[in-house]
Chain A
Amino acid sequence: MRRQPCLVAALTLSLAAPALAEIAPKDVPFVDGKVEQSLTGAPGDPANGIKVMTTNALGNCVACHTIGAMPDVQFPGTIAPPLDGAADRWSEAELRGIVTNAKMTFDGSFMPAFYKTEGFIRPGDGFTGKAAEGELPPILTAQQIEDVVAYLLTLKE
């Protein structure tokens, strides 16, 4: 009984910390396609970034992009530019902007916006073909975006 307040305090803290710092999809401060500020305030994890980029239900970046540094990915797509050397071509803020919403950098891009929740035509409930119910979650979470950006920053030639 005496322990309870402590537990509650710890829980609230761990929940509140990311929520406070996290930037919501509609509040992302784009400047010329760039996003300077981390979406979470926490550093990204490049290893998880790889997972996000190669998992179908997450980023599935390899559906369109080849990445020389990921030789184990089977049948990467050939639709989009190879990502090798991405960190030589783009700054961190530019990469964050591209992964968050590539349409802010490349007008009308085929690349999906991974951190956007509004403005879609007939949005579905994931890949079920049914209408989305309630608020649409972004395809990737703020932390997943940061993880992907952290991995992209390792792609130097």
Chain B
Amino acid sequence: MHRTATSLVALTLGLALAGVAYTDPVEDALVVEAEDGTIEIVTTAPAPDFLKDTMETIYSGWHYRETETRDLQRDDFDNPGMVYVDRGLDLWNAGIGAKGESCAGCHEGPESMAGLRAVTPRVDEKTGKLMTVENYIDACVTERMGLDSWKWTGDEMKDMLALISMQSRGMPVDVATEGPAAPFWEKGKEIYYTRFGQLEMSCASCHEDNQGKFIRADHLSQGQINGFPTYRLKDAGILSAQQRFVGCVRDTRAETFKPNSEEFKALELYVASRGNGLSVEGVSVRH
């Protein structure tokens, strides 16, 4: 009985696949017009070795969005996320510390942050802690400037995250998965494949098994985070990777984890590593 059921389904599925139902990521290339020249963004790359049995190619979420949304990211002039990067720059230069310190006072220009977004989350050598960009920001804000922590997904934190991420735009994502990162990476992987909530769905159910298909009107991408933070048209604001995770887990009728929880930090590391080889997009545009 079971066998008949499965083969019937295979047949129907096969038919569905042969029809128009299956939609690949759009073939297109992303070259961004920036203030000081053009930047080529790698949005398609060979899958990292650990994924080779599952998929050949990794794609940025940019490939799954409509033409109009993709176009918004081709020119910084059109990218609504740049407003937040500018706000981040003002904050960078402002003497906001308890003794009037600014980020610029210690780090000079934001260019000094080039490369950081591409390798985080990473394990800090000194403390052995897993650090996201937000964790580094928080350490400066609290320990070096004597302020209270910024809200994890509040405006200040996300403006600063946008500014810092932009400094790595065009660089390949290259987070470490081995050595001290290994236990965090394993934990993130376990979460990625756990079927949460009353709908019993994992990240993999949607972004690995069904990428390219439509769940209602949504074209399912691989759920990559090389484009994060992103400007989300639906929210008219900046969204961090862990904020996106919150939304996705909530959609499975599950109790979510919180941004900056051990769980979501580990998950961010693991999901980032699935995009090793794609470019950091700085601030991308999604719908």
- The prevalent SS among residues of A at the interface is loop
Identify B196's interface contact among A63, A76, A78, A121, CB under 8 A.
A121
Please indicate the chain B residues that have their CB under 8 angstroms from the CB of A60 in the complex.
Answer: 216
User: Is the Cβ of A124 less than 8 Å from the Cβ of B215?
Assistant: no
CB of A63 within 8 A of CB of B216, answer yes
Is A124 in contact with B256, judged by CB distance below 8 angstroms? Answer: yes
Q: For B198, list chain A residues within 8 Å (CB).
A: 112, 120, 123-124, 132, 136, 139
For window 1-57 of B, CB contacts with A under 8 Å fall at: 1-2, 5-6, 8-9, 12-13, 15-16, 21-23
Let me know if B136 is at the binding interface, CB within 8 A.
Answer: no
B22 pairs with A106, CB closer than 8 A:
no
Q: Once the chains bind, are A110 and B253 in contact (CB under 8 Å)?
A: no
A102 to B137 CA separation, bound complex (whole angstroms): 46
Closest to A113 in B: B200
Residue of A nearest to B252 (CB): A124
B90 at the interface (CB under 8 A from A): no
- Chain B residues numbered 59-103 whose CB sits less than 8 Å from any CB in chain A: none
CB distance from B35 to the nearest CB of A (A): 38
- A105-147 at interface with B (beta carbon < 8 Å): 105-107, 110, 112-113, 120-132, 136, 139
| Shortest Cβ distance from residue B220 to the other chain A in the assembled complex, whole angstroms | 8
A4 contacts partner chain B, Cβ-Cβ < 8 Å: no
Is A124's CB under 8 angstroms from B253's CB? yes
Contact of A64 among B194, B200, B215 (CB under 8 A): B215
**Cβ-defined contact, A81 with B13, below 8 A:** yes
A74 to B217, CA, bound (A): 8
Q: Which residue of B lies closest to A116 (CB)?
A: B198
Interface residues of B in 110-125 (CB under 8 A from A): none
> Which range contains the number of B residues in contact with the other chain?
35 or more
- Chain B: CB-nearest residue to A78: B21
Most buried by A among B22, B23, B198: B198
A127 to B8, CA, bound (A): 33
Q: How far is the CA of A20 from the CA of B51 in the complex (A)?
A: 52
A106, B6: Cβ atoms closer than 8 Å? yes
Residues of B near A130 (CB, < 8 A) are: 255
- Is B149 interfacial (CB-CB < 8 Å)? no
- A residues less than 8 Å from B156 (CB atoms): none
Interchain CB contact (< 8 A) of B1 among A33, A76, A77:
A33
| Closest chain A residue to B10, Cβ basis | A81
Chain A residue contacts of B15, Cβ below 8 A: 81-82
Nearest to B14 among chain A residues (CB) is A81
B205 at the binding interface (Cβ < 8 Å): yes
Compute how far the CA of A130 lies from the CA of B250 in the bound complex, rounded to whole angstroms.
8
A148 within 8 A of B: no
Do residues A89 and B8 form an inter-chain contact, with CB atoms below 8 A?
yes
What 0/1 pattern do residues 62 to 90 of A give for CB contact below 8 A with B? 11101000000011111101100000010
C-alpha spacing A106/B252, complex, angstroms: 19
Q: A76-B216, A78-B213, A128-B250 are in contact. Are A121 and B194 (CB under 8 A)?
A: yes
Which residue on B lies nearest to A75, using beta carbons?
A: B217
Residue contact B197 to A122, C-beta cutoff 8 Å: yes
Query: How near does chain B come to A33, taking the closest CB pair, in angstroms?
Result: 7
18 A–B contacts, CB within 8 A, in A order: A32-B1, A33-B2, A60-B216, A66-B21, A78-B22, A81-B13, A82-B15, A106-B6, A110-B209, A112-B201, A120-B196, A121-B197, A127-B250, A129-B250, A129-B255, A130-B255, A139-B198, A139-B253
Task: Show the binding face of A for B, using Cβ within 8 Å.
Answer: 32-33, 60, 62-64, 66, 74-79, 81-82, 89, 94, 103, 105-107, 110, 112-113, 120-132, 136, 139
